Structure 1
Amino acid sequence: MPLTRGKKSTAAAGSRRAKLNAAGTENQEEGLQVKRSSSPPHGAPKKRTAFIDITNAHKVQISLPGRKKEAGKKAAKKTNSTNSVPAKNQVNLEKSSSVSSEGTTAEKETTDTEEKEEEPQRDVVAPVEKLVDASPPAAREVPAHLQRRPIPKEFDIDSENSEDTYMCPEYAKDIFDYLKQREEKFVLCNYMPKQPSLNPEMRAILVDWLVEVQENFELYHETLYLAVKMTDHYLSKTPVHKEMLQLVGSTTMLIASKFEERSPPCVDDFLYICDDAYKREELISMEASILQTLSFDINIPIPYRFLRRYAKCASASMDTLTLARYFCEMSLMEVDLMSERGSLLASACLLMALITKDLGGWSPILHFHSGYQTSDLAPVVRRLYLMLLAPADEKLRAIRNKYAHKVFFEVASLPLVDMDILEKALASQ
């Protein structure tokens, strides 16, 4: 009996394991079937069959004249070929697995099918290749008025700075030619008869004070020249009372500082140098008045820029350039020289410095870059000479004291050249 119960229990256990195994196998198969037949969740993209509609090449349409009918036939042919790809692949697989002797036939059909599938792709790419191989249109010729004039090699002073982008060697000549053309827009005349309460002496006092401001604030020389130019242009259009003349000068210096300086002084600094004679609102109001009167066009060509350019043409040393700068800065105080163009005045100052230093006269390279001959400069040189020959006003010594310093090679202390030597140099050119 114990043995019989053991056999029955063993048999029962074996039958239960078989049922469990069978049930497990059925559950796994059902799970796989459910997994395979599961549909994608709502909103998920539909799956695409491999190698079908991978790219949008079949949507590319290139319309060429005379080929519309052919393009339509090829598009239809491509659609039929694409739809028959799975059926053809299935036929090829059945042929390759059935009989080995028919392998050659199956390979041949597969090759034919691949060639047919590649034909539409070649048709799509072919027009693109034709477009790439098309020759570019012929380049248009630059109009004569836009062509740059070639600079003779003996007059080329900018090629040595070809590696310095800050010097703008490619455009330096064009830039100064443009500034020389802009001078015609800013030609001044003697406006003192239009000013009821001003005279040339008051203007000279203002310029002398502006030179002191430039020195105390350590501003660029370009700032000083531009401030004087803006003051003259404003006074030529607007009557100003003498009590407001200093306000005009300090405001033009503020505007010039904003235009030229990297770190211009603030409004309070200019109010301080005026001994608080004006209020902040008055200076700001004067700034708006000056800018509106000048139509905000304050890029006025100044002689200092031309002077540095022409000194480079003459390969002048620093002391010769400083002497020419002294002559040029002294001319700012003269009303009679106010109407001269900046390029002409700078050329005359440089020529006078060259004659004083006995370095020759106006060379061909200076004539090429400035556009002036000695005959054009002679009248201005004579007026500069008479200005320097006149006795100095002890009240207006800011420029003379400035250029008597060692920093400026004490050029203000140099004696003037003899008048006969000057006339001989001017006549020999």
Structure 2
Amino acid sequence: MPFTRGKKPALAAGSKIPKLNATTSENQEEGPQVKRSSSPPHGAPKKRTAFIDITNAVGQCLSECRPNSDGSFRTAHKVQISLPGRKKEAGKKQVKKTSAPSVSAKNHANLTKSLSVSSDGSPNEKEKTDSEEGNEEVQKAVAAPVEELVAAAPPAAREVPAHLQKQPIPEEFDIDSENSEDCYMCPEYAKEIFDYLKQREEKFVLCNYMPQQPSLNPEMRAILIDWLVEVQENFELYHETLYLAVKMADHYLSKTPVHRELLQLVGSTAMLIASKFEERSPPCVDDFLYICDDAYKREEIISMEASILQALSFDINIPIPYRFLRRYAKCVNAGMDTLTLARYYCEMSLMEMELVSERGSLLASACLLMALVTKDLGGWRPILQFHSGYQTSDLAPVVRKLYEMLLAPPDDKLRAVRSKYSHKVFFEVASLPLVNVDILDKALSQ
């Protein structure tokens, strides 16, 4: 089924951000200064002043609070806080200060009284002032919450439950300690993350759904994926976006019968959703309408987007083989050329209907094993068994399927992946000869 292959459209210039209206700015005023009322409107909350040190004001307020006979407090006088940067209004009369004794004089008198001691060396209780009693009440009120926090504090040493304890990684299998200073690599949780992704794969196991699609066949699906590879190249998208789009399209097709005329709409919409999930700057809807040569309308692609998300229950965080491949290649310190060769095998497998049912971690392991054998870098090592959870016997059936797929004569209709990996940027791995079958069988029998 031929699809129109369009070039990447030029991005339209973004709309300008409207400027804020000068009249609505809180920091700018035009015209003469207007006298503002010092009291807020009825029912409005009082404004709080920022950029002011209220520590001294609070201390002064506490020191000038004198307790009553029953222990309650009454304020001596209001504390005036002058706001910086505001001019005093002209003609406003200064309020005379009262002749009340200063705070320092009061504190000095209280201190003198508290130091008076009876003949037996104990403080004279009769000479305790009301201020001292109030200070004791304040100290008790402050100390009570602290004592409660200390009493409620957990014991210093508490054992971690066995199921929450982190399993130690043998030193010879530790591949994350070298990235201990790189927080983006998550070295403390890297293995746990991939173990979780491996467990999550069981939720997204597929089967051969083509018998449920009366209007489609495996060749049509292969042509669609070959076209998606071109879309990924033209838009310069991440490889994770391509793999996720293929996974979402397969899951949607496994649940919903689709007519062949709408197959390209399913693929382009899946790529749109994957771009929103993976990319920093995903292409817009108009870009995908352009690459489809306006075969569909904007409303159709938006409606298909909702249909795919509902069919997948909005759970699109599907584990893809590309992530596992990069992780396992790190275990053996594979070079970029070896990793690219494994990526070539993995991307070719996307078009094979027989490999749709394989789990991503298993498919990635099989592609890496084939690349290692082709490059004569050994077989499946113990460190790969530890991190992947697969042995050579688990990989052998998938490796043989990959070998048969690559051994088949190339289809002229499916040239996107081969031409892509024939470029120098990808080390021209598509032109490398296949490994001898006897060498491959020997590596699989170990």
Match of 2:198 among 180, 194, 218: 180
Match of 1:53 among 43, 66, 87: 66
| Bigger shift: residues 276-285 or 113-122 | 113-122
Q: Is the 8 A contact 2:66 2:134 kept in 1?
A: no
Does residue 425 (structure 1) correspond to residue 443 (structure 2)? The answer is yes
Structure 2 CA distance for aligned equivalents of residues 404 and 256 of structure 1: 26
- Matched to 1:192, the amino acid is M
Does residue 221 (structure 1) correspond to residue 239 (structure 2)? The answer is yes
- Matched to 2:349, the amino acid is S
- Give the structure with higher Rg (CA): 1
Tell me the equivalent position of 2:260: 242
In the TM superposition, 1:2-401 aligns within 5 A as 53=66, 58=71, 112-113=124-125, 128=144, 136-138=153-155, 139-401=157-419
For residue 394 of structure 1, give the secondary structure of its aligned residue in structure 2: coil
| Count of aligned pairs | 341
Deviations 1:349-401 (A, max 9, x none): 00110000010111111111111111111111111011100000011110000
Q: 1:110 to 1:199 in 2, by over 3 A?
A: closer
The CA RMSD over aligned residues, in Å, is 3.1
Deviations 1:108-166 (A, max 9, x none): 99962587566896698577486677594435432222221111111111111111111
Quote the offset at 1:52 in angstroms: 7.5
Deviations 1:17-43 (A, max 9, x none): xxxxxxxxxxxxxxxxxxxxxxxxxxx
Q: 1:257 to 1:193 in 2, by over 3 A?
A: same
- Matched to 1:53, the amino acid is R
Structure 2 CA distance for aligned equivalents of residues 150 and 368 of structure 1: 12
Q: 1:368 to 1:53 in 2, by over 3 A?
A: same
Q: 1:131 to 1:271 in 2, by over 3 A?
A: closer
Structure 2 CA distance for aligned equivalents of residues 364 and 207 of structure 1: 35
Structure 2 CA distance for aligned equivalents of residues 131 and 382 of structure 1: 68
Tell me the equivalent position of 2:39: none
Unmatched 5+ residue regions in structure 2? 1-60, 74-105
- Matched to 1:370, the amino acid is S
Structure 2 CA distance for aligned equivalents of residues 150 and 359 of structure 1: 28
Q: 1:388 to 1:57 in 2, by over 3 A?
A: farther
Higher helix share: 1
Structure 2 CA distance for aligned equivalents of residues 362 and 56 of structure 1: 86
For residue 354 of structure 2, give the secondary structure of its aligned residue in structure 1: coil
Q: Is the 8 A contact 2:324 2:364 kept in 1?
A: yes
Does residue 410 (structure 1) correspond to residue 428 (structure 2)? The answer is yes
Structure 1 CA distance for aligned equivalents of residues 243 and 384 of structure 2: 23
Q: 1:130 to 1:267 in 2, by over 3 A?
A: closer
Structure 1 CA distance for aligned equivalents of residues 403 and 381 of structure 2: 21
Deviations 1:56-96 (A, max 9, x none): 99469xxxxxxxxxxxxxxxxxxxxxxxxx9xx9xx99xxx
TM-score, normalisation: structure 2: 0.70
Q: 1:413 to 1:115 in 2, by over 3 A?
A: farther
Structure 1 CA distance for aligned equivalents of residues 128 and 321 of structure 2: 80
For residue 372 of structure 2, give the secondary structure of its aligned residue in structure 1: helix
Tell me the equivalent position of 1:41: none
Quote the offset at 1:419 in angstroms: 0.2
Structure 2 CA distance for aligned equivalents of residues 197 and 373 of structure 1: 39
Tell me the equivalent position of 1:38: none
For residue 380 of structure 2, give the secondary structure of its aligned residue in structure 1: coil
Q: 1:132 to 1:398 in 2, by over 3 A?
A: closer
- Matched to 1:327, the amino acid is Y
**% identical equivalent positions:** 77
Q: 1:397 to 1:58 in 2, by over 3 A?
A: same
Structure 2 CA distance for aligned equivalents of residues 56 and 407 of structure 1: 88
Structure 2 CA distance for aligned equivalents of residues 182 and 311 of structure 1: 21
Compare relative contact order (CA 8 Å, sep 6+) and give the higher one, 1 or 2.
2
For residue 283 of structure 2, give the secondary structure of its aligned residue in structure 1: coil
Q: 1:262 to 1:51 in 2, by over 3 A?
A: closer
